[in-house]
Structure 1
Amino acid sequence: MDITTAHSMVLETLQRAANQNAEILKPAELKLKEWETEPGFYSILLNIFSNHSIDVNVRWLAVLYFKNGVDRYWRKTAPNALSEAEKATLRQGLASNFREPINQIATQLAVVLSKVARFDCPREWPELIPMLLTAVKNEDPLVQHRTLLMLHHVIKTLSSKRLAGDRRLFQELTSNVFSFVLNLWNAHMENFLTQVNSNNSEMGATLEKALLALRILRKLTVYGFKKPHESLDAMHFLNLVFDRAKTMLECRKSLHSRGSNLVELCEKFIIHLTKVMIAVLEDHPFSYVDVIQPSLEFTVFYVFTPSGESVLFERFIIQCLNLIKGILMCAEYKPAKVIEETKEPGTLRAHEIKMTFFTANTLTEMCRKLVTHYFLLTRDDLELWDSDPESFATDEGGECWKYSLRPCTENLFFVLFHEFRVILSPVLLEMIQSNHALVSPSDLNAILRKDAVYNAAGLAAFDLYDEVNFDQWFSTTLTQELKVKADNYRVIRRRVAWLIGVWTGVKLSSELRPALYSVTLLLLQSDEDIAVRLTASSTLQHVIDDFEFNTEQFLPFLEPSFALLFTLLKEVRECDSKMHVLHVLSFIVERVGYAIRPYSDSLIQYLPLMWEESAEHNMLRCAIVSTLVHLVKALGAAVCETLSPFLLPIIQMSTDVHMQLHVYLLEDGLELWLAVLENTASMSHNLLQLFRNMPPLLEYSSENLRTCFYIIQAYILLSPEEFLNAYGEVIVNSCNDMLSDMRSEGIVMTMRLVETCLRASPNIATELVKPMLPRIFEAIYDGEEYPMVMSMYLSVMARILLCSRDAFSQVVAEVAQRIRETQEVVLKKMLDVWLDKMALVTQFERRKLLGLALSSLLTAQSSAVLERFCGILLNITEALNDITKTDDMGFQFDALVLTKDSSPAEDTDADFESEHEYRREKVALSDPVHTIALRDYFQTQLSELQNQVGASQFEQLLQTVDTETLEQVREYVVL
């Protein structure tokens, strides 16, 4: 097929792919997918999107397919990689495409060029940067702009490479181009300022070019220098940033007064200037030391003095405040507690600049301005409160301080107050005192001022610990303010609720907790403002989450708290609000445990409805599942029986790796599955069928492997025979496959699972785990595992030996065959490792288990055993030393044997936390470790051995044992 025909076919297919009709679009997309690996396809795409006469939508699709192709096939090692010859043609075509008229396509072209540059520049494409720098000088404004756009994306991409070699290359590139780009930026800036004065129509295009040059300079400055302060050009640029920012702020003010449409672009430019400062501060703090002083002067002048107010806009204020916070928080600027011990001169210098700048007057003015100006609720805030109280009340989390004014100001205040507590405490205390008295409900300004001061008092709570008597404040003013029900006073009620929540964890007497619960319940009433109720719910959570929380003290308030929160949960509409209230309810359930039982019915009945309504809100469903976990744990078997038809489908959905929902719900779903198993009285068909979800999970993720193993153990204890017969083989095969790739921690978990099988159902489990045993026995034979792993391997082997000596012998024979040794050699080596490593086993239960297994071997009629008679007796005796105790009458007893008094029999009054705990105790009753006295068994085995070999040979065996060991043995048994 000739190139013209191919070009026509691709063009026609792209036109169909741009069609809105799915019947036309889908076959075209499949065809394009089929051509992705065809030689020449990307050359045709290049020709299509470079042809300005073709429809824009078609060209747009062509460049997107081209971009995807670069991602997939440009790398030399990629499957179906593009040929070097085609890549050379494509590079040449891309680098000459400087006259694209459509902005969106031009941006995509720049991104494509940068992706190619990431692979090829500078080694395969050394001429790219020089070619772009030459094209930037072109007289055509369009070519200038498009070239700068390409250069920006190329520099941005190259700067993101982090390998040492790539960073060196970028630093070399920076040293070659920085001066040129800086001069270019200055030229465009001067040109723009001239055009603004004459109101030239080209000033927007010029500012866009200046902004692109600035973006390039930012990447070069931050990533192109090891130490920017050692470059005259870099420091000249940093100092220029402040002058340019001042000029552009005035320029923006002028453009704004004219009603120009360039105000937004001008703001973007100013913000980018501040991003330069913040980025250099974060990445090169010691290079920034020389500009700390101008930075602080610049930001404080504009944000905290009346002179700078006229040019401010919100995003600029945020950036300035974050810059001040960055300087205050910078670890490199904080000297050691004893300043003389600080060795870095840059740290000392930075600290000195900060301390000199932040005088008491400056700090006082900043503190007052933050509280009395920036903390005040605005008209917009109050309108949002009226129209959407739930959104207003939702706390912004994460890194919102980087982008939102209120969190940003609060963050700076917190840092500033903590850093200069001695100076600022009296200032804030004076503000609290002057706003202490009750204000008139009709005086909104006074209410807003008090709200701001209370906000500051909460943010500075830890630093005001010794300065404020919060008990007195709470008992008098705050409690009175909560009783004022005037509409404007909702602002105070909400703030006081928040303030109480903050100070509870700092300083509030336990005797005042009941009073606190009472006022919080008042704020949760249905006739209260919804934003106040949501804040009160947060307060309740803070109080309950406190270290000094007393469940008994809270119990009288439990029923009304739960009822009011449940009412709030039903009334709020926003997903975030529901999640928040549900989280508080869940938290109460977790803290009070069984005490919640009488009050939980309403929530239990509502959760299924809420689950159905939350189909589109994955995070809300996460919160519901989390709440169910706490409910099941608190309410036990009763709720599992009642809610089983609701719970099991949720677990099924949350843990099925073939369902999209599992991405969000898997972790909580596994926790719920475990909680249900641990609190279920008996196995049901549906619960057993649910286990079908587990095998894929064992392959799918190591993150949740521990919980998966806990779930399997819970199934085993719930119904050992039924479960192991149904799924035992699947589990053993999965575990056996995983063992080869596991670290020691994973091996220990797997062995504990195997041990649970052997304890719960010895006969079935012994046959089931046989495929795993050769690997375990071989590891013991090699004797090189970590102590904890070896301890678990030896424990599993001991249980096999106690369950079935035949099975033990069969595995030894299989290992001997695999490593081409005799069974006698294998057994001897394993016994040597056993006797050597048993001292590393620290748990008494395991030491006794190994002692029982060694005792059982005494009568195995094996020469390998009798040759190690002394070592065996020594290890059994040491195990006896660990587990033997003496009672009040002087009689010795085995401390690990469970008596009838400690038995979890059906008629006992023992209070188990869950059905699972009860089942674990029952399994312990049949465990040899807890049912056989090692001393008695040891005596029996020695007597049996004497009968087997005769008195003469037994005496000869005793002569192989050293005197000290024999003395220890005689303390426990008769020889």
Structure 2
Amino acid sequence: MDLASTQAMVLDVLQRASSQNSEILKPAEAKLSEWEIQPGFYSVLLQIVTNHSVDVNVRLVAVLYLKSGVDKYWRKNAPNEISEEEKRSLRQGLVTTFAEPVNQIAIQLGVLISKIARFDCPREWPELIPTLIQAIENNDPLIQHRALLILYHVVKALSSKRLAGDRRLFQELSASIFAFILNLWNTFTEAFVTSINHDAATEIVTENLEKALLNLRILRKLTVFGFHKLHEKQDCLCFLKMIFERAKTALECRKQLRGKGIYVLELCEKFIIHLTKVLLSVLDMHPISFVSFIRPTLEFTVFYLFTTEGTQYTYERFIIQCLNLIKGILLCSEYKLAKIPELTKDIAQEANQIKVSFFQPEILTDICRKIVSHYMLLKRDDLELWDADPETFANDEVGESWKYSLRPCVETVFVTLFHEYRDTLAPVMVEMIKETATVVDVHDLSGILKKDAVYNAVGLGAYDLYDEIDFDQWFTNTLVQELKVKDPNYRIIRRRVSRLIGNWTGIKLSTDLRPLLYECIINLLGSDEDMAVRLTTSTTLRHGVDDFEFNAEQFRPYLDTTFNLLFSLLKETTECETKMHVLNVMTLVVERVGQTIQPHTEALIHYLPLLWKESEEHNMLRCAIVSTLVQLVKALGPASAELNPFLLPIIQLGTDTKQGAIVYLLEDCLELWLTVLENTSNMTNQLMQLFDNMPNLLDYSTETLHCCLVIILAHMLIAPELVMKTQGLQLMTACDSLMADMRSEGILMLTRVVENFIRASPNLGCETVKVILPRIFQSIYQTDTMPMLLSMYLSIVARVLLSSHGIFTEIISLVARKENNNEHNVLASILDVWISKMSNVTNIERRKLVGLALVNLLTTQSRPVMERFKGIIERILEVLHDVSKTDENGATVDSLVLTEGQSPSHFQPESENYETDHDQRKKQLILLDPVHNIVLKDYFQSQLLELQRQIGPVNFEQMLQMVDPDVLLQIKKYYFKL
């Protein structure tokens, strides 16, 4: 098929791929996907893209597929890599696309060329930059604009490379083109200003401004990433010095652009913002080079933010950028005198001196008052949003990023400034509190808004105002009284007072005043109160409950009312984010009061299934629901079993690796699963079905491995034989596979599960874990085994030996076959490590365990054991010394053996009042452990007597002669007569 036919065929499919009809669209997309690995396909796409007679939508689809192909197949050694010949052809074709008339396609071409440049420039594509520079110098405005657009995307892509060689190449590029771009920027910026002053046509203004902005964006990338020490580059310093004057001029021009259309006005605002972005980027990436610009930056920002002459030129995004510049200078670690390296000490001192000389008390006072009295005031738009959508208003207050939203930005700058200059600003805030001390007339909206702003500032600066304000007195004498004013206008103050109290609760509120706090919260949570006030008060409650000094008993009289009001608020809210917030507060209350909540949960328990169903499209809300269920199950204890028909399907959904919900719900659902098991007395078919998810979960994520292993243990303790017979082999096979590629910390977690399987059911447990035992036995005599890991390996070998000699022998045989060795040598190697490294087993219980196993070995009639009789006896004696103590009657007793009714001393549930069924099962596991029910001294004696019977008195006496006389004397003197 010739080229024209191929192009026509591809064009036909692209036309169908741009259709809005899915029946036409999907087959076309499938065909394009099929072609994307065919040689020459992308060359045909480029021909279609550059053919201006083709429909714009079709060309746009073509360039998007071309861009996708570069992502997938341009990289060297990529599967189905585009051939070098076709790459060369594409590069040549792309540098002829400077006359693209459609802006959207021009942008996509710029991105496409930048992606290729990231791979190939400058080595395989050295002509790209010179070609772009040549096109930029062209007299055709369109070609010039498109070349600048492409250069911007190329510079942006190259500046993002981080390898040392790539950064060096970018620095060379920056040095070669910086002066040229700087000159262009000046030219187009001057042309823009001149066209404004001469009231030129909007098209001319727009053209100059677009090119000035593109050059500015290029300059920013070159400045920030293209030079190591900006303060040593004259062109860079010249550029940075010009920014302040250019910004001033652009702000003045902005006022004259109001009648020239929205697009050019927005373009001018982008230009101004990008000027401030240059300063922010240099401050962030080159703080040392920025020192000489600290003062001009502060003068610039303070003029426009805090003077009458300057504020007339500002707009919201510009204000945010200026505030972030002030904050960046205040927080810059290189400008701090404390803990600075000697190399930057002079820089820090210079920067600090500049800040000190600039931030004089008068300026600080003016800034503080302006922030509070102007920038913190609620605006008309805020109040209109409050009226129209109180939930969104409340959420906006806490949810927006300080980088992009004015109110959070103002608040963070205030906190930073206040903390930095506390001694100067604390008296100012105290004075402002006095100025707003009286109750404002409910009709005086201006006074109400001013008081609201002052209270907001006091809340934000709570930590730094600790010594300046007697909060207890202020709370009881003023704030409580203001909460009683129920006029609609005063909702602003009630909401702010509620938030203020929340800010101070964990800082300086007496325990004696907590009941008054709870009464205020109850009054503000009522259904007759404004929704935004109620939502803010729920946050206040969270602060009050989530506090070190919170007393559940003190809160008990208010629990029922508070919980019911929270529940009503939860039902009345409609926004997902709001429901999640209220639910989180309820969860915290349940967590802090524990089982006291039981009588008050019925309504919530009935509502949660409905909320779960409604939240199908809101995964974060579902996470909050699951967190609430965790605390409810803990609070209800064994009674929570009634909730299992609701809980188990949720856990099933959140832990099924085939379900998309697992991405959001896994961690919370694992915690819920474990909590359900901890409070379950009997295994059920539903729980066993849920356990089918576990093998896949072990492979799903290492981050949740620990929780999964704890769940396996919890399941196994409820029904050891059932779990081992149904899932044991599959789980141990998965664990064995995981151990092959795991670090020591992960292996340690897995081996604890193996050990607990044997502890729970010694015979069946050994049979179940048999698949993983060869790896553990072999690992014992590996030289790089960590001491803690070796201790676990020896413990497992010891338990296998004490539980089943048959399986122990079988594993030794398996290891011998794997290593092409004989069984005696394998056992000998294990014993040599065991005897020489037993000091690594530091835990007293594990020492006794491995000691018991050594005692057990004495009667095995094994040659490797008999040959090491001396070392084995010495290790056993060491363990005897460790575990033996003298009782009240002077007799030597085993300190680890538990008598009837005695509880393991180390077993303590998290709370004395909260002991779950799982805790009882773990305690029972300890009580049944050979370490706690076998007296080592008696077992040692009986084994020696059995050995004497097996080999006869004469041979036995010869064996004893192998032992050091000192050791033998100690055994006879302290433990028993031989």
TM-score, length-scaled by structure 1: 0.97
Q: In structure 2, what residue type is equivalent to 1:212?
A: L
Question: Does the CA contact (< 8 Å) of 1:781 and 1:826 recur in 2?
Answer: no
Q: In structure 2, what residue type is equivalent to 1:587?
A: L
Q: In structure 1, what residue type is equivalent to 2:188?
A: H
Match of 1:210 among 209, 212, 233: 212
Residue 870, structure 1, aligned to residue 870, structure 2: yes
Distance in 2 separating the partners of 1:265 and 1:378: 26
For 2:308, the equivalent position in structure 1 comes to 306
Higher mean alpha-carbon deviation, 197-206 vs 848-857, is at 197-206
Question: Does the CA contact (< 8 Å) of 2:196 and 2:256 recur in 1?
Answer: no
For 2:674, the equivalent position in structure 1 comes to 674
For 1:247, the equivalent position in structure 2 comes to 249
Match of 1:275 among 259, 277, 280: 277
Q: In structure 1, what residue type is equivalent to 2:219?
A: L
- How far is the alpha carbon of 1:572 from its aligned partner? 0.7
- How far is the alpha carbon of 1:439 from its aligned partner? 1.7
Distance in 1 separating the partners of 2:601 and 2:896: 40
What SS does the aligned partner of 2:319 have?
A: helix
- How far is the alpha carbon of 1:350 from its aligned partner? 0.8
For 1:265, the equivalent position in structure 2 comes to 267
For 1:927, the equivalent position in structure 2 comes to 929
- How far is the alpha carbon of 1:912 from its aligned partner? 6.0
* Change beyond 3 A, Cα 1:92–1:765: same
- How far is the alpha carbon of 1:396 from its aligned partner? 4.9
Question: Does the CA contact (< 8 Å) of 1:100 and 1:106 recur in 2?
Answer: yes
Structure 1 residue runs without a partner (length 5+): none
Distance in 2 separating the partners of 1:783 and 1:25: 63
Distance in 1 separating the partners of 2:11 and 2:213: 36
For 1:852, the equivalent position in structure 2 comes to 852
Distance in 1 separating the partners of 2:936 and 2:159: 69
Distance in 1 separating the partners of 2:485 and 2:695: 60
Q: In structure 1, what residue type is equivalent to 2:954?
A: S
Structure 2 residue runs without a partner (length 5+): none
CA offset digits 1:264-302 (Å, max 9, x no partner)? 111111000000000000000001011111100000001
For 2:961, the equivalent position in structure 1 comes to 959
For 1:729, the equivalent position in structure 2 comes to 729
- How far is the alpha carbon of 1:879 from its aligned partner? 2.0
- How far is the alpha carbon of 1:865 from its aligned partner? 1.6
- How far is the alpha carbon of 1:463 from its aligned partner? 0.8
Question: Does the CA contact (< 8 Å) of 2:729 and 2:771 recur in 1?
Answer: no
Question: Does the CA contact (< 8 Å) of 1:674 and 1:714 recur in 2?
Answer: yes
Higher mean alpha-carbon deviation, 475-484 vs 390-399, is at 390-399
Higher mean alpha-carbon deviation, 768-777 vs 362-371, is at 768-777
For 1:554, the equivalent position in structure 2 comes to 555
- How far is the alpha carbon of 1:349 from its aligned partner? 0.9
Distance in 2 separating the partners of 1:903 and 1:404: 58
Provide the alpha-carbon RMSD of the alignment: 1.7
Distance in 2 separating the partners of 1:371 and 1:498: 16
Q: How does 1:534-553 map to 2 (within 5 A)?
A: 534-553=535-554
Q: How does 1:27-106 map to 2 (within 5 A)?
A: 27-106=27-106
Q: In structure 2, what residue type is equivalent to 1:876?
A: I
Residue 509, structure 1, aligned to residue 510, structure 2: yes
What SS does the aligned partner of 2:383 have?
A: helix
What SS does the aligned partner of 1:139 have?
A: coil
Question: Does the CA contact (< 8 Å) of 1:912 and 1:918 recur in 2?
Answer: no
Q: How does 1:159-238 map to 2 (within 5 A)?
A: 159-201=159-201, 202-238=204-240
* Change beyond 3 A, Cα 1:964–1:452: farther
Higher mean alpha-carbon deviation, 940-949 vs 663-672, is at 940-949
For 2:485, the equivalent position in structure 1 comes to 484
Higher mean alpha-carbon deviation, 258-267 vs 209-218, is at 258-267
Residue 900, structure 1, aligned to residue 900, structure 2: yes
Q: In structure 1, what residue type is equivalent to 2:919?
A: E
- How far is the alpha carbon of 1:261 from its aligned partner? 4.8
For 1:392, the equivalent position in structure 2 comes to 393
Question: Does the CA contact (< 8 Å) of 1:117 and 1:154 recur in 2?
Answer: yes
CA offset digits 1:511-543 (Å, max 9, x no partner)? 111111111111111111111111111111111
Residue 638, structure 1, aligned to residue 639, structure 2: yes
- How far is the alpha carbon of 1:884 from its aligned partner? 2.7
Match of 2:291 among 267, 289, 292: 289
Question: Does the CA contact (< 8 Å) of 2:189 and 2:212 recur in 1?
Answer: yes
Higher mean alpha-carbon deviation, 931-940 vs 645-654, is at 931-940
Question: Does the CA contact (< 8 Å) of 1:520 and 1:539 recur in 2?
Answer: yes
Question: Does the CA contact (< 8 Å) of 1:342 and 1:348 recur in 2?
Answer: no
For 2:647, the equivalent position in structure 1 comes to 647
Question: Does the CA contact (< 8 Å) of 2:885 and 2:892 recur in 1?
Answer: yes
Distance in 2 separating the partners of 1:618 and 1:822: 58
- How far is the alpha carbon of 1:973 from its aligned partner? 2.9
Distance in 1 separating the partners of 2:435 and 2:366: 17
* Change beyond 3 A, Cα 1:974–1:509: farther
Residue 518, structure 1, aligned to residue 516, structure 2: no
- How far is the alpha carbon of 1:133 from its aligned partner? 0.6
- How far is the alpha carbon of 1:960 from its aligned partner? 2.3
CA offset digits 1:656-711 (Å, max 9, x no partner)? 11111111111111111111111111111111011221222111211111111111
Distance in 2 separating the partners of 1:39 and 1:345: 61
What SS does the aligned partner of 1:287 have?
A: helix
- How far is the alpha carbon of 1:160 from its aligned partner? 0.3
For 1:330, the equivalent position in structure 2 comes to 332
Distance in 2 separating the partners of 1:886 and 1:857: 28
Instruction: State percent identity of aligned pairs.
Output: 59
Question: Does the CA contact (< 8 Å) of 1:333 and 1:348 recur in 2?
Answer: yes
For 1:768, the equivalent position in structure 2 comes to 768
Question: Does the CA contact (< 8 Å) of 2:224 and 2:285 recur in 1?
Answer: yes
Distance in 2 separating the partners of 1:877 and 1:549: 52
Distance in 2 separating the partners of 1:945 and 1:427: 89
Distance in 2 separating the partners of 1:595 and 1:830: 54
* Change beyond 3 A, Cα 1:347–1:922: same
For 1:881, the equivalent position in structure 2 comes to 881
CA offset digits 1:403-460 (Å, max 9, x no partner)? 1111111111100010011111111111112212222222111111111111111111
Distance in 2 separating the partners of 1:323 and 1:350: 15
What SS does the aligned partner of 1:893 have?
A: strand
- How far is the alpha carbon of 1:343 from its aligned partner? 5.3
Distance in 2 separating the partners of 1:260 and 1:911: 67
- How far is the alpha carbon of 1:923 from its aligned partner? 2.2
Question: Does the CA contact (< 8 Å) of 2:515 and 2:554 recur in 1?
Answer: yes
Q: In structure 2, what residue type is equivalent to 1:589?
A: V
Distance in 2 separating the partners of 1:474 and 1:135: 70
What SS does the aligned partner of 1:671 have?
A: helix
For 1:777, the equivalent position in structure 2 comes to 777
Distance in 1 separating the partners of 2:771 and 2:342: 63
CA offset digits 1:108-155 (Å, max 9, x no partner)? 000000001011100000010011011001111111111110000000
Q: In structure 1, what residue type is equivalent to 2:674?
A: L
For 1:917, the equivalent position in structure 2 comes to 919
Higher mean alpha-carbon deviation, 819-828 vs 91-100, is at 819-828
For 1:406, the equivalent position in structure 2 comes to 407
Residue 787, structure 1, aligned to residue 787, structure 2: yes
For 1:823, the equivalent position in structure 2 comes to 823
Question: Does the CA contact (< 8 Å) of 1:873 and 1:969 recur in 2?
Answer: no
- How far is the alpha carbon of 1:188 from its aligned partner? 0.5
Q: How does 1:733-772 map to 2 (within 5 A)?
A: 733-772=733-772
Higher mean alpha-carbon deviation, 697-706 vs 249-258, is at 249-258
Distance in 2 separating the partners of 1:237 and 1:781: 67
Question: Does the CA contact (< 8 Å) of 1:136 and 1:148 recur in 2?
Answer: yes
Distance in 1 separating the partners of 2:231 and 2:456: 40
Higher mean alpha-carbon deviation, 254-263 vs 322-331, is at 254-263
- How far is the alpha carbon of 1:398 from its aligned partner? 6.9
Question: Does the CA contact (< 8 Å) of 2:334 and 2:344 recur in 1?
Answer: no
What SS does the aligned partner of 1:20 have?
A: coil
Distance in 1 separating the partners of 2:48 and 2:18: 14
CA offset digits 1:865-901 (Å, max 9, x no partner)? 2232232222222223333333333333323222221
Higher mean alpha-carbon deviation, 763-772 vs 368-377, is at 763-772
Q: In structure 2, what residue type is equivalent to 1:716?
A: M
CA offset digits 1:764-808 (Å, max 9, x no partner)? 121121121111111113353101110111011000000111211
- How far is the alpha carbon of 1:949 from its aligned partner? 2.4
What SS does the aligned partner of 2:76 have?
A: coil
Question: Does the CA contact (< 8 Å) of 1:886 and 1:893 recur in 2?
Answer: yes
Distance in 2 separating the partners of 1:396 and 1:287: 36
What SS does the aligned partner of 1:885 have?
A: strand
Distance in 2 separating the partners of 1:486 and 1:373: 24
